[in-house]
């Protein structure tokens, strides 16, 4: 697994964004960016992860939990440590009329870890959410029981499949062993949450699940004995009999002895996004990375 070699053709390069700054710079960028391509005009990565949009998204601050809308015309992420703010929630939105990506601040402090539903109508933010309206996103709303049933517990990240099934982590103070759970949508209501099997729920700090729209795979992060150090990213594939396969470590190209977490696949299925601590143990510098999604499709073939 760790020495997995994958033969691929080289992806065609796109025009690199001239406004993009050097890696890990903390220069202030313009609020609007003229681009000709998707992904904020960035050059696509290969099979080695690189920081996403250096100087624009990934800086020498703390950036985590990114999400694109299904039409790939809006990008969201969280940053903390900027301009004396504890944290802030940002959006880059593409305007087809003037061909610009425009950055704006959605909220400060940030209100949750964004995951957008496959139909683009809901932005999940842990145990809260926003609904798509004609004017944009709705006011912040809170999940109802039974998904959220105990005030001493909270959800960091919730992801939904195309049929409305929720997959989410659960945290309780001073307890790192709570499992990743799921809740199916039945007759318009979500059922009582159930824990996923040990194939997934093994280890500690089981966090940040991301479910494929068709529920064919689940990405998550955890601390396990087979890991490379701190939290690593894993994937479990749905088997032909409907059960979940053993969690597979994504290997030493994705995972390091540092903290890796919050993985997701772009709605077009092309790229894996995740966060990595590139600084010291105090997590002052965390960047959003991206890599060709063939790294996970190759694991399924194995």
Average pLDDT, the chain: 86
Per-residue pLDDT at 84: 63
Q: Decide if 18 is inside a domain.
A: no
How far is residue 279's CA from residue 290's CA, in Å, rounded to a whole number? 18
List the structure tokens of 184: 């199916």
pTM listed for this prediction: 0.86
Q: Is residue 19 part of a domain?
A: no
The DSSP bridge partners found for residue 235 are 219, 248
Q: Is the pLDDT higher at 35 or at 114? A: 114
Write the pLDDT tens digit of every residue in 178-225. Answer: 899 999 999 999 999 999 999 999 999 999 999 999 999 999 999 999
Contact by Cβ (8 Å): 113, 125: yes
- How far is the C-alpha of 237 from the C-alpha of 296, rounded, in Å? 10
In the predicted structure, residue 21 carries a pLDDT above the cut 60 = no
Whether 259 maps to a domain, the answer reads yes
* 91 part of a folded domain: yes
- pLDDT the model gives residue 266: 97
**Segment 53-104, tens digit of pLDDT:** 999 999 999 999 999 999 999 999 999 987 767 789 999 999 888 888 999 9
Using CA atoms, how far apart are residues 106 and 109, in angstroms rounded to an integer? 9
**What are the φ/ψ torsions at residue 51 (nearest 5 degrees)?**
-60, 140
What is the band of 151 on the pLDDT scale with cuts at 50, 70, 90? Answer: low
Q: Note the pLDDT of residue 23.
A: 33
**β-strand 194-195 against 166-168: which pairing, if any?**
unpaired
- Which tokens go with 235? 């994937």
Q: Which of 272, 229, 230, 232 is nearest to 248 (CA)?
A: 232
Does 15 map to a domain?
no
Whether 270 is in a domain gets the answer yes
Identify whether 157 is part of a domain: yes
Q: Which two tokens stand for residue 33?
A: 């960016």
Q: Which DSSP state fits 252?
A: T
CATH number, domain with residue 37: 2.120.10.30
Q: How many domains does the chain have?
A: 1
**Domain around 83:** 32-301
- Asked whether residue 10 is assigned to any structural domain, the reply reads no
CA 99, CA 38: separation in Å to the nearest integer? 11
Cis previous bond, 220, omega within 30 = no
């Amino acid at each position: 697994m760790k020495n997995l070699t994958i033969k691929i053709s080289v992806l065609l390069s796109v025009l690199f964004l001239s406004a993009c700054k050097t890696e890990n710079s903390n220069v202030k960028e313009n609020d609007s960016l003229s681009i000709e391509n998707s992904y904020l005009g960035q050059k696509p990565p290969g099979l080695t992860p690189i920081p996403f949009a250096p100087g624009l998204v990934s800086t020498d601050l703390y950036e985590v939990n990114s999400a694109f809308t299904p039409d790939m015309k809006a990008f969201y992420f969280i940053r903390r440590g900027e301009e004396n703010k504890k944290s802030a929630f940002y959006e880059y939105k593409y305007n087809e009329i003037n061909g610009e990506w425009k950055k704006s601040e959605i909220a400060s402090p940030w209100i949750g870890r964004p995951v957008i539903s496959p139909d683009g109508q809901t932005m999940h933010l842990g145990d809260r959410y926003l609904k798509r309206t004609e004017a944009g996103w709705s006011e912040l709303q809170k999940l109802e029981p039974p998904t959220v049933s105990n005030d001493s517990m909270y959800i960091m990240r919730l992801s939904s499949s195309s049929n409305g099934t929720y997959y989410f982590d659960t945290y309780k103070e001073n307890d790192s062993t709570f499992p990743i759970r799921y809740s199916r949508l039945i007759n318009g209501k979500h059922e009582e949450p159930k824990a996923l099997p040990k194939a997934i729920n093994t280890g500690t700090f089981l966090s940040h699940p991301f479910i494929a729209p068709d529920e064919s795979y689940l990405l998550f992060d955890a601390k396990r004995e087979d890991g490379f150090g701190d939290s690593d990213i894993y994937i479990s594939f749905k088997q032909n009999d409907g059960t979940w396969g053993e969690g597979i470590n994504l290997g030493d190209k994705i995972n390091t002895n540092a903290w890796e977490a919050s993985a997701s696949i772009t709605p077009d299925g092309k790229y894996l996004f995740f966060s990595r601590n590139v600084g010291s143990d105090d997590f002052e510098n965390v960047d959003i990375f991206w890599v060709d999604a063939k790294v996970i499709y190759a694991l399924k073939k194995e």
